[in-house]
């Protein structure tokens, strides 16, 4: 341990004595590690951000039945739009079919003009819901109350405002019991939803919620609905999804050979697809960074060969005074590993600062994981060890007499 500490001190002194050369030597390592830390920090932040957004939109304890489902190719998209539209009849059938399902809400949404006196939002999201919406946290209110099941059944013209709609229309005034206009039709405000925040720089609170019957009076009843299905327990989510598929196929009279003409997915399904995409990007990045580290390692090896050549007399003197081949080899390797590790540490710091700077100009956060720091240091140390091995072996083989003769 004492010898290692002494070798490290000597290595640091040698690096400090040749600061510019040392910096140029590890520049490749710095850039490579900085790149991977920056991207990993942004990807980790984006994973958290997107995951939270998906769970917020779809729900962690529910799943969705849609006309199109999740499509990834143009052929799938074209085929999905030929699927029959989903109606409230399917929603009722799923609830009756599966004993594992506690609630099914049918919903539809479009853009529309929302106004109060002279204040107006031209492109607010208008959402129509059925009576089971009360069981889904996506619609929780912060002020006022929810729309009752009786009001939904009777098509009562009442509305819940998204937080930003309430702020922009009423500018601090109490919106409860006020009458607003949605595409020219009057609705009484009964509640204001909890703040959702923004995603991708776009507000998630510019919406209004009204009974589905009133929605269809405005936009017509031919639009396909989305069904949000909630199992009685989160642990039953997978089984409830299977029940929903069987229910939909039975309701539509599909034969065993016919494919589904609808889509069923949960937040986990979307997150899995997203992770597959980001894993591919990450794999490409790792390949590029690995190539950069190899180039950086070759530079370190060439510089260490030059260092060995410059210090031939010093190495010969040490061996003449009793230093063993292993001592000389350890000294060169320590210097190589120290030099490479310092480059990795500088790259980690610069990478994190770069990620924070980039995050400050976007809604995506940056999150540095401990594993990426440890991995960066271990990889750069390994690069220094691997590419320092040949110069170290060459130094250890020097004949002390021949070395001392060199000028």
Q: What pLDDT shows up at residue 382? A: 84
> Is the distance from CB of 195 to CB of 140 less than 8 angstroms?
no
Strand-pair partners of 186: 181
Q: What pLDDT shows up at residue 399? A: 62
State how beta strands 207-211 and 119-129 pair.
Answer: parallel
Q: 379 burial class (0-12, 13-18, 19+ CB within 10 angstroms)?
A: buried
Residue with the larger pLDDT of the pair 63 and 61: 63
Q: What tens digit of pLDDT does each residue of 239-286 get?
A: 998 999 999 999 999 898 888 888 888 766 666 666 676 777 777 777
pLDDT over 60 (residue 11)? no
**What is the secondary structure of 123-168 as a DSSP string?**
EEEEEEE-GGGGG-GGG-EEEE-PPPHHHHHTT--EEEE-HHHHHH
pLDDT over 70 (residue 372)? yes
Confidence class for position 53, pLDDT limits 50, 70, 90: low
pLDDT over 70 (residue 18)? no
């Amino acid at each position: 341990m004492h010898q290692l500490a002494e070798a490290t001190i000597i290595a640091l002194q040698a690096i400090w004595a040749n600061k510019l050369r040392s910096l140029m030597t590890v520049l490749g390592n710095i850039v490579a590690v900085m790149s991977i830390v920056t991207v990993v920090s942004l990807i980790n932040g984006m994973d958290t951000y997107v995951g939270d957004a998906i769970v917020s939109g779809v729900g962690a304890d529910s799943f969705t039945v849609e006309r199109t489902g999740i499509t990834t190719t143009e052929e799938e998209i074209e085929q999905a739009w030929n699927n029959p539209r989903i109606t409230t009849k399917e929603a009722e059938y799923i609830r009756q079919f599966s004993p594992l399902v506690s609630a099914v809400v049918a919903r539809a949404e479009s853009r529309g003009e929302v106004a109060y006196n002279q204040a107006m939002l031209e492109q607010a999201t208008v959402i129509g819901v059925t009576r089971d919406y009360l069981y889904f946290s996506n619609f929780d209110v912060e002020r006022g109350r929810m729309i009752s099941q009786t009001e939904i059944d009777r098509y009562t013209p009442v509305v819940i405002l998204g937080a930003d709609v309430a702020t922009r229309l009423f500018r601090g005034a109490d919106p409860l019991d006020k009458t607003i206009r949605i595409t020219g039709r009057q609705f009484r405000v009964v509640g204001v939803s909890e703040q959702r925040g923004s995603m991708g720089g776009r507000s998630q609170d510019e919406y209004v919620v009204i009974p589905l019957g009133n929605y269809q009076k405005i936009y017509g009843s031919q639009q396909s609905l989305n069904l949000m299905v909630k199992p009685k327990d989160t642990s039953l989510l997978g089984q409830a999804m299977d029940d929903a598929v069987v229910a939909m196929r039975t309701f539509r009279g599909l034969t065993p050979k016919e494919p589904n003409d609808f889509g069923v997915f949960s937040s986990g399904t979307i997150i899995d697809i997203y992770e597959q995409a980001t894993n591919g990007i990450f794999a490409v990045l790792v390949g590029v960074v690995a190539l950069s580290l190899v180039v950086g390692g070759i530079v370190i090896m060439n510089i260490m060969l030059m260092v060995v050549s410059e210090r031939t007399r010093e190495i010969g003197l040490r061996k003449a005074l009793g230093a063993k081949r292993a001592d000389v080899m350890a000294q060169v390797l320590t210097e190589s590993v120290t030099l490479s590790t310092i480059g990795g540490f500088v790259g980690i710091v610069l990478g994190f600062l770069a990620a924070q700077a980039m995050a400050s100009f976007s809604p995506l956060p940056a999150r540095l994981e401990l594993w990426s720091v440890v991995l960066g240091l271990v990889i750069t140390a390994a690069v220094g060890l691997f590419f320092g091995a040949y110069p170290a072996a060459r130094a250890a083989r020097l004949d002390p007499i021949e070395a001392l003769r060199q000028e």
